[in-house]
A and B are shown apart, each in its own frame.
Chain A
Amino acid sequence: MKKKVLSVLLTVAMTATLLAGCGSTAAAPAAEPAAEPAADAAADSGSADTEEAAPAADEKADDAAAADAGSGEVQEITFMVWDDLEASEDLITKGYKDSIDRFNKDFEGKYHCTPITTNLEEYYDKLNALVAAGETPDVFIASPGANLNDYAMTGVAAKLDDYLNDGWKSDFTSDAVFAGGTYGDEGGDGPGIYAIPLNIAAACVFYNTEMFEDAGAEVPKTYSELLDACKKLQDKGYTPITISAGTAWCLSMVAGYLCDRNGLNLQDIKDHKTDWMDEKVIKAGKQIQELSQYFQKTAAGDDNDVATAAFYNGEAAILIQGSWAIGQINGSCAEGFADKVGVFAFPAVDGSSADPNRVIAKSDSLCVSATSQYPDAAVQLVKYFVDDTAQKYTAEVGGKIPVTNVQYDASVAPPELKYVMDVFKNASSTFGFYNESLADTEAGSTFDNCFVEIFKGEDPATALQPIEDYYEMNVWE
């Protein structure tokens, strides 16, 4: 009998420890962050203090504060971004951290935001995993394109029109800034705005003015002038262009520009009026091969950071990159380098009738989870990313184009921003990154890979076969 009792006890103990081992890890992270601010709130005696504690918070804070202040419970929300808020040197990321800190300070005892940080490469994987697990972050960052479309159509991201029409929308420079965040023709909560843009970056050509002067190169207006300039730079012993084919989208951004300058219309491909074997695409491929003789020798292996570093370390004369690179360059370059940097728009292709003033633009946008427990807190957090302090920072420190009508001091802003603004103002229209504008993420990735193969020397018509096949099988059905 004793043995029986003992064996039952042992089994129960074993099962219990096993189950406890599984259970505790899942519960802990959710419980901990919530516990701390709750304790803070308890110490903070009552609702009256909550509002007094935030004198710095302007009227935005006040109207949101009224609703649940009496409950005394802190509304905990999460925010997910593609960088490490604590460790990053990127100035834009530092601005995000500042916005969250201000939010947490102004709403202490009422709202609290915990950031979930990850890196860019794994961002969407992790976000999708959280979405699938029903733990969508309350606020998350996204690039307009195939991914965001999915979030809008499947009811992951909330429609934000009601909040915007409440007077918020007039803060923004124009309705056009929302173009990238408008989705939902056949799903979600119907057509509307699902993402709030935080900034605009335009893809431009950055160049080292000192090297250009030394080599006697002129700022090119056309593709053939660009080749001339590269030739002069190379003859003078400089590496003309630094680019990353290891990070495929960097190369495919240039490919996108070339396709567009050659007159390709992506909508025509989508509608199957033409295909990827179009001579305009093939020509773009040949141009990439032509340009590649001026790339740094390790372009195939260098990742984006290494390629960008080669520019701000003065190893190469030209960097074709989005204007977000300003934040990266100024966060890491040597003193005085920023004054040597010039910016010009991607040159036109000789003999092409395509509009040479189109610019690739991209905005980081914030979405609010449709299943958020505290949508008001989440929207309030988003407002802190587009308020005057944040937008001033975006322009003056981060060097990105702000999305609101904020007055910023152009003399403090990085000198490159002015040039980018000039390019942006002269733009006749904008278009997205090719890899984010295609049918879906797989199509975008296939496009990237095709151009990496072309860059490595494969015949354009052969190298473009995979994207042609992909469209044949999945898009043009």
Chain B
Amino acid sequence: MDKLMRNKKAIILFIAPALILFTGVLFIPVCKAVYYSLCNYKINYQPKFIGIKNYVMLFTKDKTMAIALRNSIFFMIFSIVTQLICGLILAALLTNIKKGRNFFKNVYYLPCVLSSAALGLLWMFVFMPRLGINQMLASLGFFGGDCTLGPQWLFNTEGYIILPIWVISFVALWQYVGQSMMLYMAQISGISTDVYEASYIDGCSKKQSFFYITLPLIKPMVATAMSLNAIGSLKFFDLIYNMIPEGFLSHKADVIATHLYTQAFKFSKLGYGSAIGVVLLVLCLIMTVLINKFVKTESYDM
């Protein structure tokens, strides 16, 4: 093995497939997107270089971008916080129950493996004005028995963060909490039982052992899960696209990814869409760096 590692040809051969693929499907397209973001590029027309005009427009004149940024950042904070708390609680509970652990693990993880498009449709029906929740509440005697008088879950556009964004945040939490739970569980089951036994001998309660042993020891995974959540919620697209009708409620329910989609594919402004894509990429990079900087990960020997 050592000999192999010193052989430059072998190294190149082994790296080549990954490198070629990475360059071909990721690096070159990203560079191209950065270039297009500096162009006036309408679909079917030739790109024309216009400097940073797209970015100036994006940050000074585009009101939808401001809303999209606000919604995306709300999504990110909401999902980081709720997934951290709910994921940890579920993981802690499941590692402590004796019966049915695998069953519940599967139950919580199940939404994760389902297609977001199908889930979006499903939840859209649940929150439709005449179906689902409203009908159920109406049959229980709410809204004077008339389901059309119930809250417009997916269409109300009042408030700073509008109701549909809250609704979709909860759906997203429901969908992805299983993933965070799995990550935490994997890390928790890696903690040696010796550590816990020692703590119990020293008179530690279950609650104390969670806060003083489990939490510090799974910190590296917290950082990983948070980064994944942050990136995932910044580029969040499918549920919103499927649950909110075309136009995204006059762009009030837009997030960065849907704004990108509308500009690039609905209005054929590929250059402008690329600029939004670049902003999204930069945001994801910033978030990852920030999380890795502030959630200090020391590794302990377990």
B175 within 8 A of A: no
The answer for the CA separation of A3 and B130 in the assembled complex, in Å, is 68
What chain B residues lie within 8 Å of A473 (beta carbons)? 61
A456 touches B10 (CB 8 A): no
CB interface residues, B 8-29, toward A, < 8 Å: 10, 13-14, 16-17, 20-21
CA of A473 to CA of B245, assembled, Å: 27
Beta-carbon contacts of B21-60 to A below 8 Å, as 1s and 0s?
1000000000000000000001111000000000000000
**A58 at interface, CB cutoff 8 A:** no
Q: Does A453 contact B (CB under 8 A)?
A: yes
B189 proximity list for chain A (CB < 8 A): none
Chain A min CB distance to B132 (Å): 12
Partner among B17, B45, B249 whose Cβ is within 8 Å of the Cβ of A154: B45
Contacts of B247 in A (CB 8 A): 248, 445, 448-449, 452
Contacts of B188 on A, CB cut-off 8 Å?
Answer: none
B138 to chain A, nearest CB (A): 12
Q: Is the pair A7, B4 in contact by a Cβ cutoff of 8 Å?
A: yes
B155 within 8 A of A: yes
Residue contact B16 to A15, C-beta cutoff 8 Å: yes
B142 within 8 A of A: no
B129 within 8 A of A: yes
Is A442 close to B, CB under 8 A?
A: yes
Minimum CB–CB distance for B134 against chain A, Å: 9
- The answer, among B4, B21, B128, for a CB contact under 8 Å with A18, is B21
Bound state CA distance, A128 and B267, in angstroms?
10
Interface readout for A242-253 with B: 1 if CB under 8 Å, 0 if not? 000011100000
Give 3 nearest A-B pairs by CB, closest first: A449-B250, A298-B129, A154-B44
B residues apposed to A, CB below 8 Å: 4, 7, 10, 13-14, 16-17, 20-21, 42-45, 61, 63, 128-130, 148-149, 152, 154-155, 157, 245-247, 249-251, 265-269
**Closest CB in chain B relative to A472 CB, distance in Å:** 10
- B20, B63, B154, B266: the one within 8 Å of A445 (CB): B266
Closest A residue to B149 using CB positions: A297
Q: How far is the CB of A434 from chain B (nearest CB, A)?
A: 15
Give the interface segment out of A201-209, A286-294, A299-307, A341-349: A299-307
CB-based contact B267/A442 at 8 Å: yes
Task: Chain B residues near A296: list those with CB within 8 A.
Answer: 148
CA distance A453 to B250 in the complex (A): 7
Closest A residue to B147 using CB positions: A298
**Please, how many angstroms separate the alpha-carbon atoms of A457 and B182 in the complex?**
46
| Distance from B252 Cβ to chain A, minimum over Cβ atoms (Å) | 9
CA distance A128 to B13 in the complex (A): 39
Q: Known: A301-B128, A449-B250. Contact between A150 and B44, CB under 8 A?
A: yes
Q: How far is the CA of A150 from the CA of B268 in the complex (A)?
A: 10
User: Are B155 and A246 neighbours in the complex by a CB distance under 8 Å?
Assistant: yes
